[in-house]
């Protein structure tokens, strides 16, 4: 069975600090995909990034970076020089193709508050 | 449409009432998903449609929950005889084909409060 663990339920940082959101996953499949989504107060989850299980290259996009380590089943997300607009709930998700369609399991989410 | 649209945005129901939640996915998206998000939790899978076919309803919590997508576009999630434990945000998501590597496009959700 799939499982996603986000151990940090809430984090508060002061603006311009760096912050890392942790994600650990469990799966028996060899082919799977990992995602991060952002949920601002408006409620709509917004896609941030996707990695497949065969690609362990880390990725940087502006102030955002992701560290995928298969050996520890982790897919951590770092925001550099945080801003107030980064305040939101962030979800890590694991997607597998089962029976011809995707089954997505979400973590509990990490609520990030960036204080000005 | 430009994005996934859900209505109503908020719904208050008295315990025992029936409710219907609507989802209008992105035009051309074959796959449609319903999720339930309790306060402080992540989205939990309810059901999946590929066009008009409901391929997976394993996440529906009870037989009071029913979903349909009769013409392969708009979907309705119906909850009969609502209970307080049904209070949650109901999220709809869609994508082109439902493949494992596809991102989900979400609506803003319907916040259901059962009194």
The three-state secondary structure class of A72 is helix
> How far apart are the C-alpha atoms of B87 and B72, rounded to whole Å?
27
Structure tokens at A28: 């028996």
Task: For residue B99, give the nearest of A102, A108, A109 by CB distance.
Answer: A102
> What percentage of chain B exceeds 90 in pLDDT?
93
The answer to whether residues A67 and A85 touch, using CB atoms and an 8 Å cutoff, is no
From B57, which residue of chain A is nearest by alpha-carbon distance? Answer: A103
The answer to whether residues B12 and A79 touch, using CB atoms and an 8 Å cutoff, is no
Structure tokens at A98: 């089962």
Which pLDDT tens digits describe chain A residue by residue (116 residues)?
789 999 999 999 999 999 999 999 999 988 999 999 999 988 899 999 999 998 888 888 899 999 999 999 999 999 999 999 999 999 999 998 776 788 899 999 999 999 99
Asked if A101 lies within 8 A of B93 by C-beta distance, the reply is no
Test mutation, A101, A107, A108, chain B, max B CBs within 10 A: A101
B104 contacts in chain A (CB < 8 Å): 37, 45, 47, 104
Task: For residue A108, give the nearest of B42, B50, B101 by CB distance.
Answer: B42
Number of residues that this document lists for chain A: 116
Å between A83 CA and nearest CA of chain B: 23
Asked if A107 lies within 8 A of B45 by C-beta distance, the reply is no
> How far apart are the C-alpha atoms of B55 and B103, rounded to whole Å?
19
State the DSSP code for B102: P
Asked if A97 lies within 8 A of B99 by C-beta distance, the reply is yes
Mean pLDDT, to the nearest integer, of B45-54?
95
Mean pLDDT, to the nearest integer, of B41-53?
95
The answer to whether residues B96 and B29 touch, using CB atoms and an 8 Å cutoff, is yes
What is the pLDDT at residue A12? 97
> How far apart are the C-alpha atoms of B114 and B85, rounded to whole Å?
8
CA distances for B37 relative to A53, B55, B97, angstroms? 27, 21, 23
Task: For residue B101, give the nearest of A6, A43, A52 by CB distance.
Answer: A52
Interface of A with B in 58-87 (CB under 8 A): none
């Amino acid at each position: 069975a799939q499982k996603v663990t986000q151990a940090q339920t809430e984090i508060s940082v002061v603006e311009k600090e760096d912050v890392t959101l942790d994600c650990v996953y469990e799966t028996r499949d060899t082919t799977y995909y990992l995602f991060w989504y952002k949920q601002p107060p408006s409620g709509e989850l917004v896609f941030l990034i996707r990695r497949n299980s065969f690609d362990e290259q880390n990725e940087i996009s502006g102030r955002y970076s992701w560290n995928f380590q298969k050996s520890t089943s982790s897919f951590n997300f770092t925001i550099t020089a945080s801003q107030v607009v980064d305040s939101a709930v962030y979800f890590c998700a694991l997607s597998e193709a089962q029976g011809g369609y995707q089954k997505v399991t979400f973590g509990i989410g990490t609520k990030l508050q960036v204080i000005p | 449409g430009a994005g996934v649209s859900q209505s109503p945005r908020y719904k208050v129901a008295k315990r025992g009432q029936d409710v219907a939640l609507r989802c209008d996915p992105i035009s051309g998206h074959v796959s449609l998903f319903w999720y339930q998000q309790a306060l402080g939790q992540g989205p939990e899978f309810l059901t999946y449609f590929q066009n008009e076919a409901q391929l997976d309803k394993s996440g529906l919590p009870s037989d009071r929950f029913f979903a349909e997508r009769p013409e392969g576009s708009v979907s309705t999630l119906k909850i009969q005889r609502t209970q307080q434990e049904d209070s949650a945000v109901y999220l709809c998501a869609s994508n082109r084909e439902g493949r494992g590597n596809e991102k989900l496009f979400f609506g803003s959700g319907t916040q259901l409060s059962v009194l």
